[in-house]
Structure 1
């Protein structure tokens, strides 16, 4: 298993430079858009950590959301995003480390970031996500409900492990098999909806 210090800015930037972005599904995650299509607060402060190509951000803007922050550690990814969303004032693009980021948000969207970090950082991830959310804020998204045979990233896991991690900082409203996965990930994902506090 690769250690946390190996999965750094250089590692991820090289992946972007070499176009090794197999995690990118080429569109906004259907599970996330399904949830957000019923989310009423269009001016909610939304953070998408480890955002990659941030297809969700484009979908959100198209559906009237006005306050979206994207953060990624890879300079190449950020350069792509800044060009892609140059004419979108509703989207702020930040090059930086999620674990060092400061801010207060109503909603965090999780899509392939949690599985990209070393499992030894998962406890830190949960605490940091909670610290970035306002009271009553929500963390929603997808987690792999499978143990991968090869060395990550991506890193898998299973429901009981995630439940014990997140319940320390969140009320778990939903953590169940995802019925809106893309076909290649069918039956391998959990959709979760957590509330801070």
Structure 2
């Protein structure tokens, strides 16, 4: 399966967005709500329906970037939040992104949507995008890996092996406040450069 730009544009065109829960996920909202510094440089890979970047923007975070290979989700963010800085909505392949120095990168169903073959590339790309002491924070699915994705799944042991070479694992535990359909299937994590 080729998870390219056309694949994702078709997903949005056909409203085949089963990952969409209709609002910002509770674990990420809880994490965002305890952040004090509104000037930190934040990246969200994979826009989805834009709940996280719009929420951050509404809370006064001034330096939020979104990267997505598809145009439709970025347009949706502007439609829902016309004041969102257009120049921070980047339509390009995450793996080609040349910006860096991010204090925080939020992971929400992006990792599970890329081919499992690209996971080592994901880790090294995240490492290169983060500032020193920058954090990669979010949710990873905790169910058996499958070839029939996305989502492709994975396990805590796999994630420890995958990420610990380049990032320090601060937290990697079952999310306590997942939405009901995902209860017990999500790991909340904080990894630091």
TM-score bracket for the superposition, by shorter chain length: over 0.9
Aligned match for 1:21, one of 14, 17, 26? 17
* 1:81-123 per-position Cα deviation (integer Å, ceiling 9, x unaligned): 2333322239821111100001121100000000000000000
C-alpha spacing 1:149/1:137, structure 2 compared with 1 (3 Å): closer
Q: Is the 8 A contact 1:108 1:140 kept in 2?
A: yes
TM-score, length basis structure 2 = 0.94
Question: Matches of 2:87 and 2:143 in 1, distance apart?
Answer: 33
Deviation at 1:75, TM superposition (A): 1.9
Aligned match for 1:168, one of 165, 171, 192? 165
Aligned match for 2:56, one of 37, 40, 60? 60
Question: Matches of 1:81 and 1:39 in 2, distance apart?
Answer: 22
Q: Is the 8 A contact 2:28 2:138 kept in 1?
A: yes
Structure 2 match to 1:145: 142
- The SS at the match of 1:110 is strand
TM-score, length basis structure 1 = 0.93
Question: Matches of 1:90 and 1:29 in 2, distance apart?
Answer: 24
The 5 A counterparts of 1:119-138 are 119-138=116-135
* Structure 2 portions without partners, runs of 5+: none
Question: Matches of 1:91 and 1:145 in 2, distance apart?
Answer: 35
Aligned Cα root-mean-square deviation (Å): 1.5
Which has the higher mean CA deviation after the structures are superposed, 139-148 or 153-162?
A: 139-148
* 1:24-75 per-position Cα deviation (integer Å, ceiling 9, x unaligned): 1111111011111112211000000012112011211222211100111112
C-alpha spacing 1:18/1:112, structure 2 compared with 1 (3 Å): same
* Structure 1 portions without partners, runs of 5+: none
In the alignment, structure 1 residue 95 sits paired with structure 2 residue 86:
no
Structure 2 match to 1:77: 73
Question: Matches of 2:146 and 2:131 in 1, distance apart?
Answer: 37
